[in-house]
Structure 1
Amino acid sequence: MLELTAEERAIAAGCQGDGAAMAMRIVAEAARLMGASRLIPVASAHIDGALYHGDSGTHFAEKLVRGGARVTVRASLNVGSLAPAGCAAIRLPPHEREMARRMMRAYEAMGCEPSWTCAPYQAGHRPARGTDVAWGESNAVVFCNSVLGARTNRYGDFLDIACAISGRAPDYGLHRTENRLATLLVDVGGLSRELREADVFYPVLGTILGRAAGDAVAVIDGLQGFTSEDRLKALGAAAASAGGVGLFHVAGVTPEAPDIDAALGGAPPRERIALTPADIAAALARLSTAGATKRVDAVAIGSPHLSLAEIDEVERLMAGRALKIPLYANTGRHVLAPLEAQGRRRALEEAGVVFVVDTCVVVTPILPELAGAVLMTNSGKFAHYAPGNTGYAVTYGSLAECVESAVAGRLVREPRSWS
């Protein structure tokens, strides 16, 4: 049974205004539904609810503003439906554009940071290990839990801002130590070294993990010495898209898994999966829905948003060449700013790169409307969502294949071994 403190009851009754009261009541009701016995303080939030899905979301945010609601903890903002930092053209009808704009301004009016990125951890929002936070956006949640070692559940739209205003979250799920222990062991040690040190492998592994784990916690063994932050980002994003993964461990890499035994809490795994080359090939095939065509109408990378290091790699692979088809580079304003300062943004745009900033091509209409169109991507998350959200079929490939295909204007494959 949920027990609120005297302070929480007073806030819910309106002592800090109508907006704060509404937020506290939302958090308390969510806690009751989840079976939590109490609310816990959170140190920060990442807000996914500012992405326009309909007028009701805008009206909800504006009601909070009229009620005087302000966030009481640091609250970064996930992508919106518009691109105030410029770049790509967005095809929203006038009414939807205006409502999306009002929604974004409402969240800023409540004191949220105008970060507008799905990768806040790349923009300096990195809560300390063991810290309780309330984050939305599936890839941000899994990165926060797994790579940073902070603690959050997958907070959905509107509950996220309610947590940020109240400074509280329900005490359940991944906030609790016992729920953070792995029950599934995934062994990739039998795969080739060449494969494990290839960036293109990690979204494929994430897809397998998401399908196998669902919302269970897994520990992966065999990646020691192969991971980078961008690779873990890609793995987690694909796992959170293909399943309900909110936390994974990598033995010897992530902070709560110095070894397999620690990740499992000393208990044997309920299930053990040893991945084979055939498993990888099957998952790789599922990521491409376009079939055997050589057609590529657009290339989109950056889901989650590209880091500066990934932009550096795109620039290196382009090697000064112009693109025959557009390459949509989705990233945050925290990455665009240094590119502009160095004069690199303009040069990349002149070569055919289209920067998509503050949003992405899968959540708002940016890609041209074309019959039978094919999108090439190196993102497991894009591969999962693009067919339904954009109408484009997908061809999955490495970053190098994406760049070479954009240069050639057709699908280009590089030699690689998946054995």
Structure 2
Amino acid sequence: MNLTSFGRTLVAGEARGELLSAEVGLSFWGGVDPQTGIVIDQHHPLRNRSLAGRVLAIPSGRGSCSGSGVLLELILNDHAPAAIVLCEREEILTLGAMIAEVVFDRSIPVLRVDREVFARLGEYRYARVAGAGLQLLHEPPVDDWQPDQTQHGVSGETSVHLDAIDQAFLSGQHGKAAQIAMRLLLRMAAVQEAEAFMDVSQVHVDGCIYTGPASLRFAEMLVAWGARVRVPTTLNAISVDKRRWRAQGVADDLGNPASALADAYLAMGAEPSFTCAPYLLESAPRFGEQVGWAESNAVVYANSVLGARTMKYPDYLDICMALTGRAPLAGCHRDAGRQATLALDVEMPPEADDSFWPLLGYCCGAICGTEIPLIRGLETSAADPDALKAFGAAFATVAAAPMFHIAGITPEADGQTPERQARIEVSALQQAWEALNTATSPEVGLVSLGNPHFSLSECARLAALVRGRTKSADVALIVTCGRAVFEAASQAGHVAEAEAFGVQFVTDTCWCMLGEPVIPPAVRTLMTNSSKYAHYAPGLVGRGVRFGSMAACVEAACSGRAPQEPPAWLL
């Protein structure tokens, strides 16, 4: 028997197709090939399945803010899902569909349904969406369907108060680019159920990552419409080392458009920071500062560690905020949106090394989904900024939540009293280690460090670890970092010491964008201390991965082999 229900329309439209569902959120960036629509996340239950033409049902997006860009590419190249059905709050994929509709007159419907309805999706093989209506079927639909929506016309529109400046943007007084930006912000404000807009003091743009032709078309259209940023705006890591990509052997068909995309954002007035760790810059926001940041690890760090306030903004909404200096007053911008709803009790094993933090972040993110956690039990761990950076990046890779609290460590953890609680045992860390170590061979051809970008203190630590050591000629060791950190590390002598060992430094880009020939074609297995990259690399670059501490990575660079057993502290 077919099932008909109604939900909340996030992006209107009609579609039908085979139903493809999963109970786990999906990051389109790093999880879906933007040219084919095939799921490349090898840790996801839908791995190797094609989304093209199917009704995709997932609880929410997760992971990277760049998922909006991937969905836009898929819509414009006809490899997108026919529709997307969600049951949690979701803005990243929704924004990708909105951009396609507002800017390119192409789109797909996005519908949010109740959890009770979502829980029954596995009983059906086909689905169709019409406005707020969802029909689930056992056989392919053969007739037209126009559900009675008179009592269910939830279109995502809400009443948002507009200040004079907002009205001026919408009316076109500040140019077409700002007008389009405000229209998109208004659509997103409705999704977020915001009642008003607010000023932001700065923006970090993640949309400068080249996902395909659509990302460049969008940016160059904004430039042609006279776009100029109104607040200080930093740029995320881009898809190539802008100053050296030709010398690195990167092909013109990637290097030219990726560089042109960066140039478009520079033409709008953004700063050439080119880092996925803007919290390492001197311009990092202060506690309580309202900002508009994209890039998943940066958002989580800003909210959780710095105590600044930002939503997990999708790519392309970031530049909309930069062009207007405005953002919806919702979510983590408000006190109520920063409260923990789940307590996670953990215990740091004795003698744990620095790989503990990315492993724990990976476990916490997988449990939390959209919920903000309070992690308890680490009060005496003396976690430093690098540990919190590694934890946050891992957390953001598999969670949709925009922040976390760690009791006794992060600035807003005191006073958090979530009602629900769970415990993370050492066995969960062991399972995460096994999931991230996908390579069957111990032989390592590349050591990958700097995801997120290396800090100055990490450069110093690496220099100390390689001092007096000899790297294997068969192993490349590559570090990615931002320009500002590279200059500071050079002045401090860390770069020269590391390069004497054989370390290569790459700036402007990051591991989630790097491929051959920067990754040597002959390399079959890489080793990293980043659980973020260990998660994404099998799908992004088709290599097996070994995961471990920074010291273990240096040992692998010297010996050409990674340990096949977990570290002693994890046993």
Tell me, yes or no, whether TM beats 0.5: yes
Counterpart CA distance in 1 for 2:451 and 2:494 is 21
Pair 1:363-2:513 in alignment = yes
Counterpart CA distance in 2 for 1:204 and 1:155 is 25
Higher relative contact order (CA 8 A, sep 6+): 1
Pair 1:244-2:394 in alignment = no
> What residue number does 2:568 align with?
416
> What residue number does 1:388 align with?
539
Contact 2:450 2:511 survives alignment (8 Å): no
Q: CA deviation at 1:36?
A: 1.8
Counterpart CA distance in 1 for 2:371 and 2:404 is 9
Counterpart CA distance in 2 for 1:344 and 1:147 is 26
Counterpart CA distance in 2 for 1:288 and 1:312 is 27
Counterpart CA distance in 2 for 1:96 and 1:304 is 22
Change (3 A) 1:247 1:172: same
Q: 2:390 aligns with which of 219, 227, 234?
A: 234
Counterpart CA distance in 2 for 1:61 and 1:220 is 40
> What residue number does 2:433 align with?
284
Pair 1:374-2:525 in alignment = yes
Pair 1:166-2:315 in alignment = no
Change (3 A) 1:67 1:415: closer
> What residue number does 2:44 align with?
none
Q: CA deviation at 1:257?
A: 1.2
Indicate the structure (1 or 2) with the bigger Cα radius of gyration. Answer: 2
Change (3 A) 1:387 1:91: farther
C-alpha root-mean-square deviation of aligned residues, in Å?
Answer: 1.9
Pair 1:338-2:488 in alignment = yes
Contact 1:49 1:158 survives alignment (8 Å): yes
Q: CA deviation at 1:228?
A: 0.6
Letter in 1 for 2:266: E
- Matched residue SS, 1:281: helix
Q: 1:101 aligns with which of 250, 253, 259?
A: 259
Task: Give the aligned length.
Answer: 407
> What residue number does 1:193 align with?
350
> What residue number does 2:67 align with?
none
Q: CA deviation at 1:59?
A: 1.8
Runs of at least 5 residues in structure 1 that lack an aligned partner in the other structure: none
Counterpart CA distance in 1 for 2:179 and 2:403 is 31
Which aligned pairs between 1:315-354 and structure 2 lie closer than 5 A? 315-324=463-472, 325-354=475-504
Calculate the TM-score normalised by the size of structure 1: 0.92
Q: CA deviation at 1:217?
A: 0.4
The structure that is helix-richer by fraction is 1
> What residue number does 1:307 align with?
455
> What residue number does 2:340 align with?
182
Letter in 1 for 2:233: A
Contact 1:305 1:331 survives alignment (8 Å): yes
Q: 1:212 aligns with which of 349, 367, 371?
A: 367
Q: CA deviation at 1:415?
A: 5.6
Moved more, 121-130 or 394-403: 121-130
Q: CA deviation at 1:244?
A: 1.4
Counterpart CA distance in 2 for 1:111 and 1:45 is 12
Letter in 2 for 1:18: K
- Matched residue SS, 1:113: coil
- Matched residue SS, 1:305: coil
Change (3 A) 1:59 1:87: closer
Q: What whole-Å deviation, never above 9, does each CA across 1:169-223 have from its counterpart, x for those lacking one?
A: 112222221121111111113x43322xx21100000010111001210011111
Q: What whole-Å deviation, never above 9, does each CA across 1:46-92 have from its counterpart, x for those lacking one?
A: 11000111122112112212222111111111001121344896554
Contact 2:229 2:270 survives alignment (8 Å): yes
Q: CA deviation at 1:326?
A: 0.8
- Matched residue SS, 1:98: helix
Calculate the TM-score normalised by the size of structure 2: 0.68
Moved more, 123-132 or 213-222: 123-132
Q: What whole-Å deviation, never above 9, does each CA across 1:291-323 have from its counterpart, x for those lacking one?
A: 3x2111101011111111111111111123232
Counterpart CA distance in 1 for 2:162 and 2:357 is 43
Change (3 A) 1:301 1:98: same
What fraction of aligned residue pairs are identical, expressed as a percent?
A: 40
Runs of at least 5 residues in structure 2 that lack an aligned partner in the other structure: 1-158
Q: What whole-Å deviation, never above 9, does each CA across 1:225-245 have from its counterpart, x for those lacking one?
A: 321111011001001002213
Change (3 A) 1:88 1:201: farther
> What residue number does 1:27 align with?
185
Contact 1:307 1:335 survives alignment (8 Å): yes
Change (3 A) 1:155 1:90: farther
Letter in 1 for 2:358: P
> What residue number does 2:422 align with?
273
